Amino acid sequence: MFCVNSLRLAGDGWSDYNSHARMWWGPLPHAVRLGAEMSNDSRDTRLHHQLEDLLVHPGAPIDWNEIATRNPDLVDELRELYGTAQLASALGRTVSWFADSRDEGHFPDGAPLPLLNSHPGFADYEQLVEIGRGGMGVVYRARQRSLNRDVALKMMVRGLFSTSEDFRRFRTEAASAAQLNHPHIVSFYEVGEQGGLPYFSMQLVEGETLAERLSRSPIVPREACEILIPVCRAIGHAHRQGVLHRDLKPSNILLDRAGHPYVSDFGLARIVHERDGGAGPSELAHATTRTGAILGTPGYMAPEQAVGDPRQIGPAADIYSLGSVLFAMVTGRPPFLCASPADAVIMALEHEPPPPRLLNPAIDPDLEMILLKALQKPSDLRYVSADEFADDLRAYLNHEPVQARSSRLADVLSRAFRPTHHVGILRQWGLLWMWHSLVLLVLCLTTNYMQWIDIRSRMPYVALWTVGLGTWGLAFWGLRHRAGPVTFVERQIAHLWAASMASSSMLFLIERLLGLPVLSLSPVLALFAASVFIGKAGVLSGEFYVQAAVMFLCAVPMALYPSVGLAIFGVISALTFLIPGWKFHRELRGRDLVEKP
């Protein structure tokens, strides 16, 4: 039989451990079930003796390599069983705090819920009844004894087994919400700790979440605007206090029985500047924001949140989320419906939301314009502030002209010349583009020199522009591969470049077929280059329209002054690569310096 005493739980037997472990962690691991029901065959006997030997000296270093050499068929199960024994010991030290907990209710991820309902009280609170839970916290309705009032009491989902990141986010939520005082933000009452378990109490909103309301049906557009305007005002107040919510969605907006909205759950909030008397907001902001970490809820997060770079996230991200909430209110669904969160992130980056009136024809055209302005992918094309968003909604309700319909020339130009979210890949191309500018300059000057010394045979030119430029192309691509993985967008740009190289080489054949002297069609090179820059402008950044225009104009002096046409092309095309190459190379170096510890 398996040695029960070796997994003793603070004086309790295996049966006590079994019940507590199931309550806290869900079904026991397969190896543990095997251990509790071992037969007397030789393998199980060896497993039993090996585990007993490990547990005789708890805390002593274990040479798992030696164990794997002696018992290769047992090492994996021994690791699992030994870890479970350590867990049993930890549970034994804390189980008395939850001694009256019953075997009921598990979290979605299998982590345990401290079932406080069975306790007569917790700190200054009693009559605890769970009313909601999320990925980090569980909320109870409770009675505060000292003030004789009902409150909402929030604690951490995993209790004493929460990670340090969980604790940091919990403190961030407390620090963020505590400094906000607005009639449409859930009021904050008290922060405390009991038995090593942090908690805070807040205003109890009797009613339902906006998500629960939407589960029944979409909301009439004008009523939806009436609900969202106070939410926008509340978020505007939070922004003025230096707090970004970063997780606005219907389930984080509460509606009381009169239909008044309240913003809740600042668990992903970021405090963007330190205020007098603050509780270390700079540290808290850093703790909950890491480069590459995607924070928010897919379907409601702004594109800049999906990128995962906290430096790009500002108040405009909350405005996008407010627009997504309004979209869901009037259409009954978020802007993007996807099979998985990853798909929702890709949709937020790559696609535009469907026109709201396509989903609900009852939506007024002015309201559709307001929605689409709030959901602009470029953050500077959205409303400047949440208050401005609210003002436009109020203008719509009052049948006044809305700001969303006014398109200034500056806005049009901004849309045309702005970078896309793919522009970041050019940081890997910066140095290579500077080298490419040098290669182009040398190639063109060499070609012009050959023209000046009156070389009329086509083959030297063909060799220079096909073999020479092709060799550089292969070297360029090889160097790019050494810098890291090549993205799909980079392959698209590479195809454009390869097409222009092939077209340039074909000019020599066309000249021969037409009976033209060599280099007669050289001004067409500038047109090829301009076409490639237009493709880059559409995929990467509108700033490349400038290079495209310059190359189109370059064809004119090349045609007017054919004796120096290639030199003109070489100088201008080299500059079109050198300038952006230097810019993106500096950005890469600056980012590397920032990310160094």
| Catalytically annotated residues | 247
CA distance 423 to 532: 16
In the chain, the amino acid numbered 528 is F
* Sign (positive or negative) of CA dihedral 263, 267, 272, 277: positive
Could you give the residue ranges of the DSSP H alpha helices within 179-314?
210-214, 221-240, 281-287, 303-307
Number of neighbouring beta carbons within 10 Å of residue 327 = 28
User: Which residue has 């569980």 as its token pair?
Assistant: 138
CA distance 562 to 580: 28
Task: Tell me the three state secondary structure of residue 199.
Answer: strand
Number of neighbouring beta carbons within 10 Å of residue 553 = 13
Look at phi and psi of residue 28 and say left if phi exceeds 0, alpha if psi is from -120 to 50, else beta: beta
Task: Tell me the three state secondary structure of residue 255.
Answer: strand
On whether the CB atoms of residues 157 and 107 are closer than 8 A, the answer is yes
Extract the runs of DSSP E, i.e. beta strands, from 88-187: 121-122, 125-133, 137-144, 149-156
Query: Six-digit token pair at 38?
Result: 């071992």
Query: Six-digit token pair at 193?
Result: 């700790």
User: Which residue has 């810019």 as its token pair?
Assistant: 583
| Alpha carbon distance, N-terminus to C-terminus of the chain | 53
Paired with 150 in beta bridges are 143
Query: Six-digit token pair at 174?
Result: 């407390």
